């Protein structure tokens, strides 16, 4: 069982550093893009875990984008199977909605685009304890779901990372980012860089040079721990988690 299900939301999406590390560790990446009609698996018996990546759409788009609703309905399958689940940005926001909490824009319409510091919480054995600066690209944030453990906070969006049970993690930021991906994202949507809270390209590159090595070192250790999290006791999903609250 050396396959990881990779859920992306655009044909140009790239699992980046996350994918590179997993492949180096001997895992096969099974790419699934529900946005273009790929079907999500009914069972995950043959997978070691699942990762849902980001995208320009909202976790609240389930009434207008059928694939968002399909993913919201599918995530509980992963959780109830006690499979390691990692939600990145949009993926974390969808996990949040599945667990009964809201996803909303910043009250001042701020974005986080570029590197920003995060502060690990004082939980024992916090896997985010060594992480200080991470790359963001989002305009919405999430509330902390009931029974979830907050693992990292931020200044603009206070909830940056959490754990639900022992196997599910959600992170607001993009640990998969590479220099090539920064170049691609900023080239594809340069208009985003003038929005409130966005950092200019030059600063993003300077900060990437300063922080990328630490993020990679942390990510290698985190992914190893995450993939072994299924050895811990299973936590059942409560019925209320299917309510999918919207914008608060």
Chain center to CA of 151: 14
Domain 3-106+138-177+219-242 has what CATH class? alpha beta
The pLDDT tens digits for 98-125 are 999 999 999 999 999 999 999 999 988 8
- Assign 231 a pLDDT band (cuts: 50, 70, 90): low
Does the pTM of the predicted model rise above 0.75?
Answer: yes
Per-residue pLDDT at 123: 86
Domain boundaries, the chain: 3-106+138-177+219-242
- What is the pLDDT at residue 124? 84
pLDDT digits (tens, 9 = 90+) for 194-214: 999 999 999 999 999 999 999
Residue with tokens 């029974």: 147
Q: What is the DSSP string of 45-100?
A: TT-SEEEE---SS-TTGGGT-HHHHHHHHHHHHHHHTT--EEEETHHHHHHHHHTT
């Amino acid at each position: 069982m050396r396959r990881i299900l990779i859920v992306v939301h655009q044909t140009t999406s790239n699992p980046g550093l996350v994918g590179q590390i997993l492949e180096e560790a001997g895992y096969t990446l099974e790419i699934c893009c529900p946005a273009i009609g790929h079907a999500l698996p009914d069972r995950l018996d043959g997978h070691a875990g699942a990762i849902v990546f980001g995208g320009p759409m909202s976790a609240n788009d389930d009434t207008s984008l059928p694939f968002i609703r399909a993913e919201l309905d599918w995530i509980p399958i992963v959780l109830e199977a006690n499979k390691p689940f990692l939600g990145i940005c949009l993926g974390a926001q969808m996990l949040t909605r599945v667990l009964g909490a809201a996803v909303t824009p910043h009250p001042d319409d701020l974005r986080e685009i570029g590197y920003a510091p995060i502060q690990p919480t004082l939980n024992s054995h916090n896997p985010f304890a060594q992480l200080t600066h991470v790359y963001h690209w989002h305009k919405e944030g999430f509330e902390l779901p009931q029974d979830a453990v907050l693992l990292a906070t931020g200044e603009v969006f206070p909830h940056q990372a959490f754990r639900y049970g022992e196997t599910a993690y959600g992170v607001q930021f993009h640990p998969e980012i590479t220099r090539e991906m920064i170049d691609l994202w900023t080239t594809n949507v340069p208009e985003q860089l003038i929005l409130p809270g966005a950092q200019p390209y030059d600063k993003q590159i300077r900060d990437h040079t300063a922080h990328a090595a630490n993020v990679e070192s942390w990510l290698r250790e985190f992914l190893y721990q995450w993939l072994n999290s299924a050895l811990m006791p299973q936590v059942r999903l409560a019925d209320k988690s299917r309510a999918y609250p919207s914008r608060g």
